[in-house]
Amino acid sequence: MQKTNKRICKILGGFLTETIIIKGKETADLIKDRIRLATTKLAQDPFNIQPKLAVILVGHNPASEIYVKQKVKYAAEVGVLTEIHRLDEEVDFDTLLALIKKLNADESVNGVILQLPLPLHLKPYTYKAMIAIDSKKDADCFNPKNIGLTFLDRANIVPCTSHGVLQLLDQYNVEVQGKHVVIVGASNIVGKPLALELINRNATVSVCNIHTKNIRNITKSADILVVAIGHAKFFDHSYVNEDCVVIDVGINQLFNKSYNPELKAEVEMFGLEKVAREFAATNKLTLEEATDKVSNSIKEQFTVGDVDFHDLLGKCAMVSKVPGGVGLLTVANLLHNTLILTLLQKKLDFTDFGLERRYIRDNRDLSHK
Ligand SMILES: Nc1nc(=O)c2c([nH]1)NC[C@@H]1CN(c3ccc(C(=O)N[C@@H](CCC(=O)O)C(=O)O)cc3)C=[N+]21
């Protein structure tokens, strides 16, 4: 972000940076439109193909249930079929492996994902299970072959969440070449692949973790700070400089102190609008205020990121929202990967389906690499 672009407002004699809030919906909708265009054509003669994503869900992790629901909903919106395969919490590894093999062999299935985390007793088998998924159906792009192609910048598909971070930066015209990007959190599914993609785009990358000494010295020197540690509201303004662009990848559930089960029961019975109207009348609020209050009181838990969002407002150039930020792109990219995998499996030409040439990685000029 260039300084000249920054909007500054004067408040009570002092200057406050007006922080731009980065939202994911617009970018996710663009990706969804692109997928829908392609699936519409695929569904017709002479192709008659509908891409299908199989999701394996083991046990009843509440967060996983929410994510999977989100994936199924998005898939339906863009013309991708989904198939949920539920396994018991206590299932043994061999049964899981047999299911993965069955889905690998099933020609009607184009993408397979194994929702993480696995239950405790299966955790040590996570790697074995992930590599069992056929690299040609690996919609998450977690397989060593696919992540290796990302490393070499020759991949047709890339990991969904890290790529979403880059798409958000693109959407908000934040150039990464030559910038110091600091990533906190070095996981296999976010931090590491993001570092790879940033290196491929000529950024200067620092990757920090829990053991990093004097971490604030590093994060304060960031032009772009990406946090993915899974610790609610960890990063306040003491970690950033005022020109920093902050991308929050964290998804954490907090218990809602203003949860009101009676109100929830009323909303379930009479609907939000009616309850909010009554609430507005009894508490002398506008309908909008009452709707906000009621909606906030009927959730047992709510989602926050790794960033202390309100503390950062006015203290940095841009900050992304949670929910409503990177998470939306994770899902959109998963379906985009499913589409790409389908086209590759059927040996179809990407450009016939409205996909830009940049998705045909092999045709890019990579001779220098
Ligand atoms: N094999 C595998 N692949 C994954 O891609 C994978 C996974 N395991 N395990 C867990 C993480 C997390 N993840 C998200 C999916 C959707 C939202 C999402 O839809 N977020 C919305 C709503 C969130 C909310 O309201 O709670 C948002 O941020 O606006 C977020 C995060 C995929 N993951």
Instruction: Choose one of 126, 255, 330, 336 to mutate for the ligand 1 pocket test, by most ligand atoms within 8 angstroms of C-beta.
Output: 330
Identify the DSSP state of 307. B
Give the pLDDT confidence of 199-251 residue by residue, as tens digits: 999 999 999 999 999 999 999 999 999 999 999 999 999 999 999 999 999 99
140 lines ligand 1 (CB under 6 A): yes
How many whole angstroms from 225 Cα to the centroid of ligand 1? 20
Residue 210 marked ligand-binding: yes
pLDDT at 123 exceeding the cut of 90: yes
pLDDT (0 to 100) of residue 240? 98
Report CA(68)–ligand 1 centroid distance (Å). 8
Q: Which of 298, 305, 347 is nearest to 324 (CA)?
A: 305
- Give the tokens for residue 338: 């499913």
pTM of the model: 0.90
**Lowest-confidence region among 45-49, 91-95, 276-280, 359-363:** 359-363
Please give the pLDDT value at position 127: 96
336: closest CA among 75, 150, 76?
75
Ligand 1: residue of 32, 56, 61, 70 to mutate (most ligand atoms within 8 A of CB) is 70
Confidence category of residue 153, pLDDT binned at 50, 70, 90: confident
CATH code assigned to 31-154+328-347: 3.40.50.10860
How many angstroms separate the alpha carbon of residue 29 from the centre of ligand 1?
A: 16
Q: What angle do CA 283, 284, 285 make, to 5 degrees?
A: 95
pLDDT digits (tens, 9 = 90+) for 24-55: 999 999 999 999 999 999 999 999 999 999 99
**Per-residue model confidence as pLDDT tens digits over 1-15:** 444 445 555 555 556
Please say if the pLDDT value at position 67 is more than 70.
yes
Question: Is residue 187 annotated as involved in ligand binding?
Answer: yes
Domain positions in the chain: 31-154+328-347, 261-299
Higher pLDDT, 8 or 79: 79
User: Ligand 1: which atom is nearest the Cα of residue 253?
Assistant: 26
Higher pLDDT, 317 or 369: 317
Rounded to whole angstroms, the Cα distance separating 7 from 18 reads 6
Q: In angstroms, rounded to a whole number, what is the distance separating the alpha carbons of residues 293 and 287?
A: 10
What the block records as the tokens of 185 is 């959190």
pLDDT of residue 267: 95
Q: Could you tell me if the CB of 335 is within 6 A of ligand 1?
A: no
Tokens 């509201």, residue? 233
- pLDDT of 188 > 80? The answer is yes
Give yes or no for residue 187 having a pLDDT over 90.
Answer: yes
pLDDT the model gives residue 202: 95
Average pLDDT for 80-100: 98
pLDDT at position 321: 98
